[in-house]
Structure 1
Amino acid sequence: MPEPPLVVTAEPDGLTSVLKKAFAILDAFDHQHPVLPVSSVMRRTGLPKSTTYRVIGALMEIGAVERHSGGYRLGRRMLSVGASPAERSMRDVALPHLRALHRRWESTVHMAVLDGQMVLFLEKLCAPNTISTPVIVGGRLPATSTALGKILLAQDCAPASAVRKSQAPYRRPGCEVGHLREIAYDRGHLRVDLSCVAAPVSANGVVLAAISFAYPSSEGDAAYLVGPLRETARTIGRELAGLPAATFRSMLAGL
């Protein structure tokens, strides 16, 4: 039986106005301005002070915006808006392993996927008393400016989107994990005093994501972090590969 036609009714002008203001404030944050004081939000949106405070307060109540370093940033709940169900499922599998890595080495850990020429950050676990990284969960950065993006762009393997278009249910011929580049660095691109090392997360021959450590540039290649990072990436990949076939296909189709 066909579904009844969708009937769109006009909303009160007041609600439309509030929604426009809320999205204007959310749009004020980007990879160059991940944290903003109220004065900057006002300047970038053109909203008056009282309105800005009122709308930010409402956004904080639902987790869309949160306080950070004397200003505001997008809240972690925005990940549920910016990421697909497949990306959220992948993050859920990876999170226990990322937490263990974070606790063991007391370094900031990231997880991201490729989104065109950008990387979308699915997770960030911050280490205390370390250099702050200009990253927010659900945010994006140019792929070429991050170790995560470099390792994802550098793979010999076709991306997940190309695998979906092939006839193979999982694996493209010649697309083996052993043929992939396993490490990429970003040395001071986003901040002179900050470097990152990243490793790909692969399952059934498909590169799905990447994880990284952030560390002070003064530590050079931070060789002591490479082994644990690669092992964690492999562990996450094995767990993803061990998902039921239908679940893995569904996750792959959603990327």
Structure 2
Amino acid sequence: MTNPEHSMPEGDADAPLSVLDRVFAILEVVRRMTGPISVAGIAAEARVPRSTTARLIAELIEQRYLARDADGVTLGMRLFELGARATIPRRIAAAAAPVVHELAVRTGERVGVWVQQGTDMVSLTAVPGRLPMLPTRAGMRSPALTTASGKAFLAFCDDATVVERVGARLEPNDAERFHDELTTVRAATLATDPGDSYAGVLAVACPLMGHGRVMGALSLAGPADAMREERVAPLVRAAGVSLTRRLAAV
């Protein structure tokens, strides 16, 4: 008699076929387990041929998505690391809410919190100001290269490849000016966008630090002909320090 753990039922319509579907099926089986499970057990539960299961598990172990011990296969540390990182935007948004609200009330301008993703900055939360053309929805993207929030983040980013990727299309002279500007931002702990992203809109931003690294940026934006940088800059810095302290506690 054939052991069901060692083979798949022929013509199993529910069996995953693509490599990605099979990887997900394997990870889902291990996730459901309260303890280690054998390769044969994973193959049977995932409905994936045992030889394929063994090969995919070996690759997932090498990449630390799974781990092997004396009793079988368990989830690896890389999944826990990814899970921890996935909660960071929610933690930042929750910590930022009172700080963002207070700064918006004091200035009457649009205040937002941003995190880096690829070559963009992604909005986590924002309070509208007196410029209706500025979007405030969570999830909106703005280029890190030109925005105040992007420059505030990049100036303190310790991953040089992120900075290089953002500035990859710049001509040599423009790239030099961009890096000089990041140096100025580091010294001032403040970045500005005089209207490169939105014509007629002045934006000021500061980095948000937490646990020894930059986690995002806090920005304030208003009409360039009415908002004075020298007035709002100290308020943005103070709000950034307050939020940084809150982030250190989460």
TM-score by length of 1: 0.53
The change in CA–CA distance for 1:6 and 1:160 in structure 2 (over 3 A counts) is: farther
Instruction: Report the equivalent of 1:233.
Output: 240
2:91 aligned with 1:89: yes
Instruction: Report the equivalent of 1:123.
Output: 125
Inter-partner Cα distance in structure 2 for 1:7 and 1:196: 54
Inter-partner Cα distance in structure 1 for 2:47 and 2:232: 56
Say whether the 8 Å CA contact 1:124–1:137 is kept in structure 2.
Answer: yes
Code of the aligned partner of 2:103: L
Instruction: Report the equivalent of 2:28.
Output: none
Inter-partner Cα distance in structure 2 for 1:108 and 1:124: 7
Q: Compare relative contact order (CA 8 Å, sep 6+) and give the higher one, 1 or 2.
A: 1
Say whether the 8 Å CA contact 2:202–2:221 is kept in structure 1.
Answer: yes
Q: Secondary structure at the match of 1:219?
A: coil
Say whether the 8 Å CA contact 1:147–1:184 is kept in structure 2.
Answer: yes
Instruction: Report the equivalent of 1:208.
Output: 215
Percent of residue pairs bearing the same amino acid type: 26
1:85-115, Cα deviation, whole Å (9 max, x unpaired): 2111111011111111111221110110111
Say whether the 8 Å CA contact 1:143–1:150 is kept in structure 2.
Answer: yes
Instruction: Report the equivalent of 1:57.
Output: none
Code of the aligned partner of 1:198: A
Of 160, 169, 190, the residue aligned with 1:183 is 190
Say whether the 8 Å CA contact 1:131–1:216 is kept in structure 2.
Answer: no
Inter-partner Cα distance in structure 1 for 2:234 and 2:160: 26
Q: What does 1:32-47 align with in structure 2 at a 5 Å threshold? A: none
Q: What count of residue pairs does the alignment treat as equivalent?
A: 152
2:146 aligned with 1:145: yes
Say whether the 8 Å CA contact 1:160–1:208 is kept in structure 2.
Answer: no
Code of the aligned partner of 1:230: R
Instruction: Report the equivalent of 2:112.
Output: 110
Inter-partner Cα distance in structure 2 for 1:239 and 1:160: 27
Inter-partner Cα distance in structure 2 for 1:160 and 1:145: 18
Offset at residue 130 of structure 1 (A):
2.8
Q: What does 1:214-253 align with in structure 2 at a 5 Å threshold? A: 214-219=221-226, 221-243=228-250
1:203-232, Cα deviation, whole Å (9 max, x unpaired): 243111100111101136521111111111
Say whether the 8 Å CA contact 1:194–1:214 is kept in structure 2.
Answer: yes
Q: Secondary structure at the match of 1:5?
A: helix
> Structure 2: any 5+ residue segments left out of the alignment?
1-35, 49-84, 163-185
Offset at residue 5 of structure 1 (A):
2.7
Offset at residue 143 of structure 1 (A):
0.6
2:200 aligned with 1:199: no
The change in CA–CA distance for 1:161 and 1:103 in structure 2 (over 3 A counts) is: farther
Instruction: Report the equivalent of 2:56.
Output: none
> Structure 1: any 5+ residue segments left out of the alignment?
9-82, 163-178, 244-255
Code of the aligned partner of 1:158: D
Moved over 2 A (4+): 1-8, 129-132, 159-162, 219-222
The change in CA–CA distance for 1:161 and 1:191 in structure 2 (over 3 A counts) is: closer
Say whether the 8 Å CA contact 1:160–1:207 is kept in structure 2.
Answer: no
TM-score by length of 2: 0.54
Code of the aligned partner of 2:222: Y
CA RMSD of aligned residues (A): 2.9
1:111-132, Cα deviation, whole Å (9 max, x unpaired): 10111211111111102x4342
